[in-house]
Chains A and B, each alone.
Chain A
Amino acid sequence: MNKKMWFYIIKRLLLGILTYLLVVTVTFWVMQMVPGGPWTREKALSEATIEILNRKYGLDQPLFIQYIRYLGRALIFDFGNSFKFKGREVVDVIKKGFWLSFRLGFIASLLALGVGLFLGTYAATHQNKFFDRAIMVLTTASVAVPSFVASLIILFVFAVNLRWFPATPVNADPITPYILPIIAESLYPTAYITRLTRSSTLDVLGQDYMRTAKSKGVRPSRVLLKHGLRNSVTPVITYFGPMFATIITGSLVIEKIFQIPGIGQHFYSAITVRDYPMIMGTTCLLALLLIVFTLLSDIAYKLVNPRVDFD
């Protein structure tokens, strides 16, 4: 880590904070511009009730004051009470949903990384053999399946027909109901990482330094792991950071199909009922995670690949 690296990290952090505040700004004004409010119901509430509710949640203040308040809240990550979940703090609701989505997404992304790196390297070192062809056909096919189709088919085969796993979460059982959603979540990233690893490993295998290492008498496994993987893993690093941020915040479709009360579902229902603090809280969390993990994967990319310039 030299001076240039620190300069780069500080610059990126400052830009990240700027982006974060801009996200809050855009979200706030878009929410205000869109028709429909938190008190729009099938049966209209009386004027007096709406006025009381507005005063209670500070919606009677001028928009600019409300905006400044949200900016402050976003920085200390405290969004007050939810409109929809009466009397509960947004941060608590988010914490509960995020903890569930995070666990599923964390396992799914580690699975995708491990399986993807292994299959990709294996396919590249056995190019044009049977397993390489089979892996390529499978991964090409699985990036063409929309996630709701994949999840429904997984549900149909393993839960409805074979009955190996329950179709919906069972309270007493902490493991089995979550296996299918984890598989569904990891399907696309696994296929994608496999393809990335295969093509970059094929590139690396043709390089001169690999032949040099081999001719020096280094063991083949060591050539591949020490000299090959370090270089072939760089595109995977760039992909993995943002992917990890997205996957740990839950997939709405998969949470809907497997009936998991994760953050994806909370966010969706918050948007449809215009639960402003909840929308703001979740958006801030998602944006923050995305910014942080994109930055981390860029730093990791530069650490693994010292040739890359800092700009």
Chain B
Amino acid sequence: MKHNPLSFQINTEKFSFASESEKRGTNLMRPNSTFFVDGLKRFAKNPVAMVSFVFIFLVILAVFIIPLFYPYKFNEILCFRYGDVLDSKFTYLRPFEYAPKEIEAMENGVFVPPHILGTDKEGHDYFICLIIGARTSLIVGFFAAIIVLVIGGVIGALSGYIGGKFDLIVMRIVDVIYSLPDILIIILFSASLKAVFDGNQGGFLSQLGPGFVAIFVVFALLYWVGMARLVRGQVLTLRKQEYVMAARANGASTARIVFKHLIPNSMSVIIISAALQIPSAIFTESFLSYLGLGVQYPTPSLGSLASAAQSFITVPNSPKLYMFLIPAITICLIVLSLNLLGDGLRDAFDPKTQK
């Protein structure tokens, strides 16, 4: 076909098929990467976040594995290993110190495992109390975060999505809960839970203790409001975004918009703030244990161990000071590394902070 030089029609004679090497040039330089993989790569490059991650991982391993083989139990009063009488010589042993009866047993050739951190007021091995205490605190933190995420997430998303009167009512409830003093609800609820437990002796709930359940009830009742506000805000801003409108204009179904656009775009923000709920729950638990409202004796938590040993801090140069410092520092380290881990996750996965 002869081509008219003034025509705007494409001159096909000027085109030829691409050679093999030219075809290869249009291939992607690297394999496709997803948002998740990108985030993981960014996360792995952040030394602070990685160190915190490894630390938390080791702590979790330690608190679940050490109790399996450690020779003492956290609720075992040591003197009962050597007869049925209470023996005050077993209380407040210094690290690696033995009680007279244990020395006697060792002289008879029995192996007595050392008390790495000594013993406490009741004659429990302090090291295993610390391990179980850390386990309790981590479990509380983890499950409280899940409760907050589920309740706050569902209510916040519904409130943002449905809007109207429903949103108005939910937001008033949020305001009221936000304005109620936490301590009032916590004390009143642990009192009423106690009454429930006293009527249910030997059941599953009474084994956990009112304090333990009260913490979860409190989180379920009080602390979902922050998460609900966050999720509602996310849903409200995302609904107005152009790409959601574009998807709708292209005929996407509501389900597709929710699962393909709304959830992936808000998930990172929500998961990160749920991750930061874990340290704040550990904080709350230690505060409640300090007031004697947390996890009940004999189950230890880091907060209750530290508050049980707080009298040693008012005496200058007390040799038992470590009984306060070790659980206190353990709380701080766990909370610190969880905070840093959360910050690292935010830097790696929050679409808004990406440069």
Q: Mark A residues whose CB is within 8 Å of B.
A: 15, 18-20, 22-23, 26-27, 30-31, 33-36, 140-141, 143-149, 152-153, 155-156, 160-161, 167, 252-253, 267-268, 271-272, 279, 282-283, 286-287, 290-291
Contacts and interface: CB of A to CB of B under 8 A. Distances in A.
A22 B316 contact: no
Contacts of B291: 252-253, 268
Contacts of B195: 35
6 contacts: A18-B172, A26-B176, A144-B336, A153-B313, A156-B313, A271-B187
Interface residues of B, number: 39
B315 A160 contact: yes
B148 to A, nearest CB: 19
B35 to A, nearest CB: 23
B273 interface: no
Output the residue of A36, A146, A167 with the most chain B CB within 10 A. A146
Contacts of B314: 155-156, 160, 167
Contacts of B53: none
Contact of B306 (A35, A149, A167): A149
A148 B195 CA distance: 29
Contacts of A279: 184
B179 A19 contact: yes
A256 to B, nearest CB: 8
Contacts of B277: none
A23 B340 CA distance: 36
Interface string B173-194: 0011011110111011101100
A281 B214 CA distance: 25
A167 to B, nearest CB: 7
B55 interface: no
Interface in B301-324: 303, 306-307, 310, 313-316, 324
Interface in B267-296: 279, 283, 286-287, 290-291
B182 to A, nearest CB: 10
A31 B181 CA distance: 13
Given A22-B172, A33-B192, A141-B336, A271 B179 contact: no
B188 A287 contact: no
B336 A252 contact: no
Contacts of A272: 187
Contacts of B283: 146
B335 interface: yes
Output the residue of A18, A147, A161, A271 with the most chain B CB within 10 A. A271
Given A146-B303, A161-B316, A286-B179, 11 more contacts: A15-B175, A20-B179, A30-B185, A140-B339, A141-B336, A145-B332, A160-B314, A268-B187, A279-B184, A287-B180, A290-B179
Given A34-B192, A140-B336, A141-B336, A146 B331 contact: yes
A41 B195 CA distance: 16
B180 A253 contact: no
A17 to B, nearest CB: 11
Interface string B147-190: 00000000000000000000000001001101111011101110
